[in-house]
Structure 1
Amino acid sequence: MELKDLNYLLVVRDTGHLGKAAQALGITQPALSKCIQRLEKSCSTRLILKIGRGIKLTEAGLLLCERAQKVLHLMQVTRQDLNALGSGAAGVIRLGVAATAAEFMLPHLTRELLQHAPTVLLEVQVGLNDLLQSRLRENKLDLILGYLPQENHEFVTRPLTEDPVVVAASSLHPLAGVHPTPEQLNQFQWLLPSSQVATRQWLEQRLRSGGYAPPRVQMESNTLSPLRQVLAQTHLLSFLSRRLLHEDMTQHALIEIPLPLVMMPRTFGWQFRSLSELTPAARLLVDLAEKRWQW
């Protein structure tokens, strides 16, 4: 089984068509068909099925693609590591970052990384934890810097710092400085992530357990941090990192609404598949963060 054949199979999966895959690869369709036949003979099973004018991968084909993606990435990382040893290049880090961590952790961490490895290429994706975990699972990220789920047996986790989530609003909000009753809180609407996001689900469950009504959501966003000015200029409530309120209070004029019932404890840290899969540059990034935020 050759690496070239595995790469060809991935292109077939992505295009869903042998002719388009052959064109993308710069080879003839008969040559691509022979490649698939070699793989099927090696695996002793069918990998693709013809569906109309296109193709569909069998269950075996999908499994081989999943494993092939990991093998090809590992070979790419190995080549990068060997080149780094020969040329002194620092390599590539594919980093997923939660929005809050991107604001209060990434700037310090990037500065220290570039001091130690000035030629490193840092590919950053900012997003919600569910999306980043999916990309880590698919081997499209090396590391996640964000909050650590309470139940997680899939990835290696390394805690770095605490960052609770609290009810936030404009400093001019009618509830400023007030421990609101259920009736007072229910007078106002919210800016929150979608109902599929774990922090919103936690907030709703805690409010219900304390005799409060579910939040009346008027605005939803896949990330809340960039929308702090919306909060500062409206009477919407939200659920934000306490650190964001403290670090940038003057600019955004946001405060915490005192409601201990829904102060969500949260730990920020690293998530990755295994230490052995990390490049030297990625391991350096992990070490730098653990030295700065000593858990």
Structure 2
Amino acid sequence: MINIFDQLDLRDLYYFQCIATLGHVGKAAAQLHKTQPALTESIRRLERSLNTQLFIKNGRNIKLSPSGELLLLRSHKILNNANDIVKEIKEFDSNEHGQIRLGVVPTAAHHLILPITKILTKNFPDVQLKAVIGQTDVLYEQLEKREIDLVIGLNADLHENFEWIPFYQDTMVVVANSSHKVFQEKVSLNKLSQHKWVLAPPSVMSRQWLDRAFELNGLPKPEVQIETNLLLMIPSVIMQTDLLSFISRRNLSFPDTSGQYLKEVPIKELNMQRQYNVISRKDSYLSLPVKNLKNLLVEQGASIFESQGQAETFL
């Protein structure tokens, strides 16, 4: 029977992870403030315990063996779980509230950040909120690296290590300023392909969906004159130009972009349904404030979205 306590030392595993990432013992020694012989001996202990070779010489550097690649993959989970245990015990003993690190896609941020802030300052005054606004792919990467605790994101391809709970659905539509000439003619995909657009980058799910919709109908992708990842500036751009765009229908009701200036282009073929989810890592420790926020979003996120900021009523 294998005795796990004789097989792996967390410190050796951490040193191994650093060496594997940098591909060089000397660089790892400098980063860890350890001597090279100490790190070499650490790797030898792991190799003796596991009865395998973890590194192979690669010129002046080293690279992982197949066994080393497997250990590196598993080491991330082992060390992350150990870190979670430490955080959980510290919170249990000290009753500290700590920090919520929340990633939010732009449209959700516009509707949810202010209500969430009001709720936290009123009901959890000792909790610090760190809000990161970004596109789904960037936020998922940060969640995987444990740089954030929760993501309010969209129904894109989700990592197998994530769990998600849907809480709100909205619709993406084509929009223009209310005096645009598109409203003076019969609307069709072919007509829309003749106009210029302001859109999000190609990495954004809604942009990909829109491009495919045109291509599936034998038409070229929309001609993009302005491309920006600052999605909340798009309504202002539309109001002051003759560009078309593709945004949430909810943006038509923003106080600073009312229907008097922005108008939906009526074409059902380009109505895209999208789902907002609360996303976290599977089997990962969540502090009490993070759990409270997650539960709030699952149970009342849709109502908060619809209320446009009347946060006081939700707790």
Q: TM-score range by the shorter chain?
A: 0.7 to 0.9
User: Does the CA-based 8 Å contact 1:210-1:261 persist in structure 2?
Assistant: no
Q: Which has the larger radius of gyration?
A: 2
Instruction: Tell me, in whole angstroms, the C-alpha distance in 1 between the residues paired with 2:147 and 2:240.
Output: 38
Instruction: Tell me, in whole angstroms, the C-alpha distance in 2 between the residues paired with 1:71 and 1:213.
Output: 49
State the secondary structure of the residue aligned to 2:27: helix
TM-score between both structures, scaled by the size of structure 1: 0.86
User: Does the CA-based 8 Å contact 2:188-2:267 persist in structure 1?
Assistant: no
Instruction: Tell me, in whole angstroms, the C-alpha distance in 2 between the residues paired with 1:243 and 1:178.
Output: 25
Instruction: Tell me, in whole angstroms, the C-alpha distance in 1 between the residues paired with 2:153 and 2:164.
Output: 10
Structure 2 counterpart of 1:136: 143
State the secondary structure of the residue aligned to 1:268: strand
Instruction: Tell me, in whole angstroms, the C-alpha distance in 2 between the residues paired with 1:144 and 1:113.
Output: 17
Change (3 A) 1:61 1:226: farther
Structure 1 counterpart of 2:313: none
Aligned counterpart in structure 1 of residue 296 of structure 2, from 280, 283, 288:
288
Structure 1 counterpart of 2:273: 265
Instruction: Tell me, in whole angstroms, the C-alpha distance in 2 between the residues paired with 1:185 and 1:153.
Output: 38
Aligned length: 295
The letter of the residue matching 1:49 is I
* Pairs within 5 Å for 1:1-295: 1-149=8-156, 155-176=162-183, 180-209=187-216, 213-250=220-257, 253-274=261-282, 277-293=285-301
Of 81-90 and 160-169, deviating more is 81-90
Instruction: Tell me, in whole angstroms, the C-alpha distance in 2 between the residues paired with 1:144 and 1:192.
Output: 23
What is the Cα deviation at residue 154 of structure 1? 5.7
What is the Cα deviation at residue 249 of structure 1? 4.1
Change (3 A) 1:2 1:205: same
What is the Cα deviation at residue 22 of structure 1? 0.7
Change (3 A) 1:96 1:250: closer
Of 199-208 and 94-103, deviating more is 199-208
Change (3 A) 1:145 1:8: same
Q: Please, which runs of 5 or more residues in structure 2 have no aligned partner?
A: 1-7, 304-315
What is the Cα deviation at residue 195 of structure 1? 3.2
Change (3 A) 1:179 1:116: farther
State the secondary structure of the residue aligned to 1:180: coil
State the secondary structure of the residue aligned to 1:293: helix
User: Does the CA-based 8 Å contact 1:225-1:240 persist in structure 2?
Assistant: no
User: Does the CA-based 8 Å contact 1:182-1:211 persist in structure 2?
Assistant: no
What is the Cα deviation at residue 227 of structure 1? 3.7
User: Does the CA-based 8 Å contact 1:161-1:267 persist in structure 2?
Assistant: yes
Of 263-272 and 35-44, deviating more is 35-44
User: Does the CA-based 8 Å contact 1:178-1:258 persist in structure 2?
Assistant: no
The letter of the residue matching 2:150 is L
Task: Give the aligned CA root-mean-square deviation in angstroms.
Answer: 2.8
What is the Cα deviation at residue 210 of structure 1? 5.2
What is the Cα deviation at residue 138 of structure 1? 4.2
Instruction: Tell me, in whole angstroms, the C-alpha distance in 1 between the residues paired with 2:95 and 2:194.
Output: 60
User: Does the CA-based 8 Å contact 2:161-2:282 persist in structure 1?
Assistant: no
Q: Please, which runs of 5 or more residues in structure 1 have no aligned partner?
A: none
